[in-house]
Amino acid sequence: MELERMGQLAKAASRSLMKLTQPEKNACLVTIARNLVDNTDKILEANAKDLENGIANNMPESLQDRLRLTADRIEGIAEGVRQVAALDDPVGEVLSMKSRPNGLMVGKKRVPLGVIGMIYESRPNVTVDAFSLCFKTGNAVILRGGSDCIYSNIVLVDIIKKSLEENHVTPDAVFLLEDTSRETATKMMQMNEYIDVLIPRGGAGLIRSVVQNATVPVIETGTGNCHVYIDATADVEMAVDIVKNAKMQRLGVCNACESLVIHKDIVDAVAPKIIATLKEKDCEIRGDEMMQSYDSYVIPATEEDYATEYLDKIISAKVVSSVDEAIEHINANSTGHSESIVTKDYDNAQRFLNEVDSAAVYVNASTRFTDGFEFGFGAEIGISTQKLHARGPMGLEALTTTKYIIYGNGQVRP
Amino acid sequence: MELERMGQLAKAASRSLMKLTQPEKNACLVTIARNLVDNTDKILEANAKDLENGIANNMPESLQDRLRLTADRIEGIAEGVRQVAALDDPVGEVLSMKSRPNGLMVGKKRVPLGVIGMIYESRPNVTVDAFSLCFKTGNAVILRGGSDCIYSNIVLVDIIKKSLEENHVTPDAVFLLEDTSRETATKMMQMNEYIDVLIPRGGAGLIRSVVQNATVPVIETGTGNCHVYIDATADVEMAVDIVKNAKMQRLGVCNACESLVIHKDIVDAVAPKIIATLKEKDCEIRGDEMMQSYDSYVIPATEEDYATEYLDKIISAKVVSSVDEAIEHINANSTGHSESIVTKDYDNAQRFLNEVDSAAVYVNASTRFTDGFEFGFGAEIGISTQKLHARGPMGLEALTTTKYIIYGNGQVRP
């Protein structure tokens, strides 16, 4: 189907999704979960084709792992859909309603965004996940996944469409771009008439490409050059634990720590321990001269290192003379995702919270908690690193907008 | 000064504006108001130069009027700044703070956006207005006004900068692009490193250009192809009053009614009265065949007419057979700004409020009320017709974002 036509149908579908009740939407989600599990064999067959192509194209083992589905993983995806069904629906809430002196009642109501465009890479679970969150909030969605995953995606979207039809809901609530060319993706990013919001999910290159090419409003997600700052008064053991967790608990994630900042008054106490801990885990350390002085394991850091999201067993490290210098260094190099201070000092904790300009700022905790589930939203469509609309982990509310509803009895403007 | 350098300085300034207290910000605004009035002669002199150039370039009378300052108008601008000083500052409010099972306290706090880029046309009052709203919310601002207004803007920004210095606040809180070329404006729209949000204010062409060229996130404001729908059960007198007010009370504004939709069962009763009322005011009516049948004054409407924002003494008009047809026609042609239904029918009122996909949807009132002051926000930076971040009239809150602040005591992710 032509992209323009998809846009028209998705827009039309979004008008009818607006009118669905919560039980109607939840019934669809429960059907989808059941049909995913019931069609396990069919999904695995399509996924095997994607994997075969991937192997033939020398796809790295780590990407193969992201792409690979198993019966257990399909059950996991279905369970995710059931959990979304169980969440509260934010749509329809009237956030405020005030009476004006002229008698007008002006209310602000939460409503669906309309049509959401998702552009993402080769993880088939995102296909179902993104659909279920968009649908739960009354939105139609156009999915553009990676070519590596196309056979899996076609089957998954087909199961979703049939499940919607089973519930007498329009299957136009979801479209998959089977043409995964760059040109078609760019065209999709400029369909302002039919798409209300684009959400890219994937690596820095994908996100940059969407930000550069889109005329449709974008919610930028993702890249995290996250910092842990160890203040002069930090508890040494806590600092080591937090750095170890934030850097090593999971490597390829946006909320992992990529850069370490240490106050000079505590560096003698913490640097040797941190270096030993990271060395034991084979994590490369790129540090300034002071850091290098503790162990020849530490190699010199360039200015570029301080601005790099490694997503790997590498960390940069720098010693500073004050909390001011730490904050300045972080604001200059961070991607605005998550940063943490380890301190016992009340004023420095407050200053860090106030002055570090990132989506999530922590005192005495690992940056790894920046996540919709960890924050208690029950869902996550991505983590916004921009400042418009949504910042930080995005749950269901980020997939809604508001409208003003005004009740009058003949008011005209004097 | 080079644009890149302005961006750097504005970004640095935004870090220090974040730390200003409410009284400090308000003191600056009060100084600005005083200095504007004290420098009336200087402002009028610069404005006279702009007007002279405008007249030499055959600027239409209506634009000359927008550009023209007088002592009274300067006092009005200063009074606007004083009113902004008197408003509550939304920055710093913690919107929620919840304890998680692992003991983390996760809070959501309202903070400034950072650096705002304003791109607007030849109205010198916008220069002061936009600055004062951005500054009140702790943001730095880069202003790019029209070339027609450049001498006035230079003097106004100079007064603002000096007033900030008088209060020991960095004058880098505001920059004016004195180079008003298209190339420089485009460069500004792509300064993602330094500008957090762009707000264009002006005609449809300006806004389209920003949406097309910007890579910085944009809040789209403005164009309003607003509808009034007269339902079968409408009070005829109320309907005529509302149409007259929405179309004629002020012509060149985005919340004026541009298109009329009438239910066939009431058209005999209302069409002659509405036609007579608009005719008396010299308002051209472009209607379908049914509308034309009442008076030869009504000329034929094209499909394009139904999608046009005239900003003039012209209105399009169409007769429909049902509220469904009305809603469908409006959703297909509206720019998503403001629409009103005139009705006595409860169900149709509810359906119109729910199903019309616009920023402000009215029952029995004029669309002219879509305005930050009329809605009680005490200020307005523009009216958003997009769905991200802010929708409808934008007050001070639209110039803020949120950040998560997380208090821990050593938590790491298991």
Contact A64, A55 (CB under 8 A): yes
Beta-carbon contacts of B303 under 8 Å, excluding residues fewer than 6 positions away, are: none
Mean pLDDT by 10 residues, chain B (414 residues): 94 94 97 98 98 94 90 96 96 96 97 96 91 97 95 98 98 96 95 94 88 92 93 98 97 94 98 98 97 98 96 96 98 96 98 96 98 92 92 96 98 96
Whole-angstrom distance, CA of residue A5 vs CA of residue A205: 28
- Measured CA to CA in angstroms, residue A259 lies from A18, A204, B138, B190 at distances of 45, 18, 29, 28
Nearest by CB: A369 against B219, B389, B411: B411
Q: Search chain A and give the residue with CA nearest B105.
A: A375
- Coarse DSSP helix, strand, coil percentages of chain B, rounded to the nearest 5 percent: 45, 20, 35
Q: Search chain A and give the residue with CA nearest B250.
A: A413
Q: Do B364 and A409 touch (CB under 8 A)?
A: yes
Q: Search chain B and give the residue with CA nearest A335.
A: B193
Q: Do A366 and B413 touch (CB under 8 A)?
A: yes
Mutation for B interface: A401, A402, A407, A409, most B CBs within 10 A: A401
Nearest by CB: B404 against A192, A359, A366: A359
pLDDT of residue A174 exceeding 90: yes
Structure tokens at B121: 């046309």
pLDDT digits (tens, 9 = 90+) for A333-381: 999 999 999 999 999 999 999 999 999 999 999 999 999 999 999 889 9
Which DSSP letter does residue A196 get?
A: S
Q: 3-state class of A384 per DSSP?
A: strand
Q: Which of B222, B224, B257, B227 is nearest to B330 (CA)?
A: B227
Query: B217: distance to nearest CA of chain A, Å?
Result: 7
Mutation for B interface: A327, A352, A388, A389, most B CBs within 10 A: A388
pLDDT of residue A169 exceeding 90: yes
Domains B3-220+386-407 and B226-369 share a fold: no
Q: Do A368 and B408 touch (CB under 8 A)?
A: no
Which DSSP letter does residue A22 get?
A: H
Mutation for B interface: A99, A406, A409, most B CBs within 10 A: A406
Q: Do B215 and A212 touch (CB under 8 A)?
A: yes
In SS3 terms, A237-280 reads as HHHHHHHHHHHHCCCCCCCCEEEEEEECCCHHHHHHHHHHHHHH
Q: Do A410 and B354 touch (CB under 8 A)?
A: no
The owner of tokens 């541009």 is: B258
Contact A118, A144 (CB under 8 A): yes
Q: Which of B385, B377, B383 is nearest to A96 (CA)?
A: B377
Q: What pLDDT band is residue A221 in, cutting at 50, 70 and 90?
A: confident
Per-residue confidence (pLDDT) for residue B62, from 0 to 100: 82
| Residue spans of alpha helices (H) in B249-372 | 267-280, 289-292, 303-306, 323-333, 346-355
Q: What pLDDT band is residue A88 in, cutting at 50, 70 and 90?
A: very high
Contact B172, B140 (CB under 8 A): yes
Q: Do B408 and A113 touch (CB under 8 A)?
A: no
Residues of A in contact with B408 (CB under 8 A): 362-365
Per-residue confidence (pLDDT) for residue A89, from 0 to 100: 95
- Measured CA to CA in angstroms, residue B271 lies from B237, B249, B267 at distances of 12, 19, 5
Per-residue confidence (pLDDT) for residue B216, from 0 to 100: 94
Q: What percent of chain A has pLDDT over 90?
A: 93
- Measured CA to CA in angstroms, residue B84 lies from A311, B27, B379 at distances of 46, 11, 7
Nearest by CB: B369 against A331, A357, A411: A411
pLDDT digits (tens, 9 = 90+) for A304-333: 999 999 999 999 999 999 999 999 999 999
Q: Do B387 and A410 touch (CB under 8 A)?
A: no
Whole-angstrom distance, CA of residue B290 vs CA of residue B268: 10
Whole-angstrom distance, CA of residue A7 vs CA of residue B139: 37
CATH number of B3-220+386-407: 3.40.605.10
The owner of tokens 């004054």 is: B297
pLDDT of residue A1 exceeding 90: no
Q: Do B217 and A19 touch (CB under 8 A)?
A: no
Per-residue confidence (pLDDT) for residue B100, from 0 to 100: 97
pLDDT digits (tens, 9 = 90+) for A246-288: 999 999 889 999 999 999 999 999 999 999 999 999 999 999 9
Residues of B in contact with A354 (CB under 8 A): 18-19
Structure tokens at A3: 């992209």
Q: Do B241 and A389 touch (CB under 8 A)?
A: no
What values do phi and psi take at A360, rounded to 5? Answer: -135, 125
Residues of A in contact with B386 (CB under 8 A): 196, 217
Q: Do B104 and A238 touch (CB under 8 A)?
A: no
In this structure, are strands B360-365 and B382-384 parallel, antiparallel, or unpaired?
unpaired
A59-73, A295-309, B398-412: least confident range: A59-73
Query: What mean pLDDT is predicted for residues A84-95?
Result: 96
Nearest by CB: A104 against B245, B357, B365: B365
Q: Which CATH class name applies to B226-369?
A: alpha beta
ipTM above 0.90, yes or no: yes
Q: Do A238 and B362 touch (CB under 8 A)?
A: no
Query: B85: distance to nearest CA of chain A, Å?
Result: 22
Contact A384, B340 (CB under 8 A): no
Beta bridge partners of A57: none
Q: Can you give the pTM of this predicted structure?
A: 0.92
Count how many Cα atoms sit within 13 Å of the Cα of residue A140 in the half-sphere of its side chain: 29
Axis crossing angle, helix A182-189 with helix A3-17, rounded to the nearest 10: 40
Q: Do A412 and B215 touch (CB under 8 A)?
A: no
Q: 3-state class of B117 per DSSP?
A: strand
Residues of B in contact with A350 (CB under 8 A): none
What values do phi and psi take at B325, rounded to 5? Answer: -65, -40
Q: Search chain A and give the residue with CA nearest B102.
A: A374
Greatest extent of chain A over all pairs of C-alpha atoms, in Å: 80
Which DSSP letter does residue A127 get?
A: H
Q: 3-state class of B142 per DSSP?
A: strand
Q: Search chain A and give the residue with CA nearest B399.
A: A388
Query: How many cross-chain Cβ pairs, A to B, lie less than 8 Å apart?
Result: 199
Nearest by CB: B411 against A218, A366, A376: A366
pLDDT of residue A222 exceeding 80: no
pLDDT of residue A122 exceeding 80: no
Q: Where are the domains of chain A?
A: 3-220+386-407, 226-369
Q: Do B196 and A387 touch (CB under 8 A)?
A: yes
Structure tokens at A152: 């899996």
Q: Do B408 and A364 touch (CB under 8 A)?
A: yes
